[in-house]
Amino acid sequence: MTPDLSIVVPLYNEAAGLPFFHQNLSACARAVGTARAMRIEIVYVDDGSRDETANIAAGLPPLGLDVQVVALSRNFGKEAALLAGLDHARGDALLFMDGDGQHPPEMIETFVGLWKDEGYDVAYAVKADRTDEPAARRLFVKLFYRLLNFGASTSIPEDAADFRLLSPRAAAALRRLPERNRFFKGLSSWIGFRQKAVPYRPALREHGSSSWSFLRLLGLSMEGLTSFSPAPLRLAGMVGAALAGAAFLYGSWIVVERLVWGIPLPGYPSVVVGLMVIGGVQLLVIGIMGEYIARILSEIKSRPVYFVADHAVRHADAAGERTAAVELPKALP
């Protein structure tokens, strides 16, 4: 039977906390499934973990729910893992959440209620506040969303998490988007439909540490900017226009000083400074254009976003006793 809801969970080096997380998630999902008469499955996607995450995930018991385990051939990144879960999920509706335990499974009931009872197509979690984060990180996030939404046709909610539920028609719309350079938060906002933000406070991480370094966050930020916003190009054009205007005014003032007051022209220092400023801006603009061109090249090459090394499905009846069925490895675009 086709599940009514698929819960997609990307994993990366979560071996230590995965068994406890699976028990908690399964209990919450079973409660929702029983109360709503829904059939629910869990889809774990191991994104090339360096520890035993894939092996532990493959051995997780169904606990009354169907469980899929998709192991990618290497670390392709979270966006690729989310796409792999989207491709393999059999449910009509989809719910995405992280496997580090910081997204509370208890919120599944809230999301399903917004979908079933109030007719929302996308229910997404938003951090209630960031007071527990360093000031530099909070400033970086705020500047990122300001730049991302500058001149954008579709506003992406600030502080929104990947923790969200998509109704069947929203999930179908997301599956129709063909691009390979993906930014999940932007795509799920771009499709439209009725959307609802749900404030939440991330739970403390009890096992392991986050793999999101500053460089990885910066890379994801560039992916989002180049995928959804023309702001960098527009700002580069505005800076160029401002410099051109300033140069024109400065040149006009020099001419006036020479002709009216007889002041000699400035020497080499002003020329050198001007060349350095203009040269730096040109390199910056070329770099921004290079980021967009790199994304275009990636789309043109049309390489698969990920490859699957192993794929196992454990079907569960009411007692959760049935054994696993293993499929052959495959690659999906």
Residue-wise pLDDT for 144-170, tens only, equals 767 666 666 667 777 778 888 999 988
Rounded average pLDDT over 176-182: 79
Out of 133-137, 162-166, 182-186, the most confident range is: 162-166
Give the pLDDT score at 325: 43
pLDDT of residue 163: 87
DSSP 8-state code for residue 258: I
Mean pLDDT of 123-147: 73
pLDDT, tens digit, 9 for 90 and up, residues 43-73: 999 988 888 888 888 888 888 888 889 889 8
Per-residue model confidence (pLDDT) at position 189: 81
Question: Which residues share a beta bridge with 61?
Answer: none
Q: Look up residue 43 and give its DSSP letter.
A: E
pLDDT tens digits along 287-332: 777 777 777 776 777 778 888 888 888 877 644 444 444 443 344 4
Question: pLDDT above 70 covers what percent of the chain?
Answer: 73
CATH of domain 5-213+303-332: 3.90.550.10
The answer for residues whose C-beta is within 8 angstroms of residue 320's C-beta and 6 or more apart is 61, 62, 63, 64, 65
- Split at pLDDT 50, 70, 90, the class of 218 is low
- Can you tell me the mean pLDDT for 96-111? 86
Residues 213 and 249: their CA atoms lie apart, in Å, by: 44
Domain ranges, ordered by start, for the chain: 5-213+303-332, 231-301
Output 37 or 226, whichever has higher pLDDT.
Answer: 37
Give 145's DSSP letter.
H
Task: Identify the bridge partners of residue 41 per DSSP, sorted by sequence position.
Answer: 6, 66
Which residue reads 């051939």 in tokens? Answer: 73
23-32, 53-62, 144-153, 207-216: which range is least confident on average?
Answer: 207-216
The pLDDT, as a whole number, for residue 190 is 79
Distance in Å from the first CA to the final CA of the chain: 26
Q: What average pLDDT score do residues 247-264 get?
A: 71
Distance CA 111, CA 122 (A): 9
pLDDT at 211 over 60: no
Q: What's the rounded mean pLDDT across residues 170-175? A: 88
Tokens 């499955």, residue located: 41
Backbone angles phi, psi at 41, to 5 degrees: -125, 160
If you search the block for the tokens 């789309």, which residue do you land on?
299
Q: Residue 229: is it exposed, middle or buried by C-beta count within 10 angstroms (0-12/13-18/19+)?
A: buried
pLDDT above 90: residue 95: yes
pLDDT of residue 321: 41
Q: Which two tokens stand for residue 27?
A: 């209990």
Is it the case that residue 78 has pLDDT exceeding 80? yes
**pLDDT recorded at residue 214:** 56
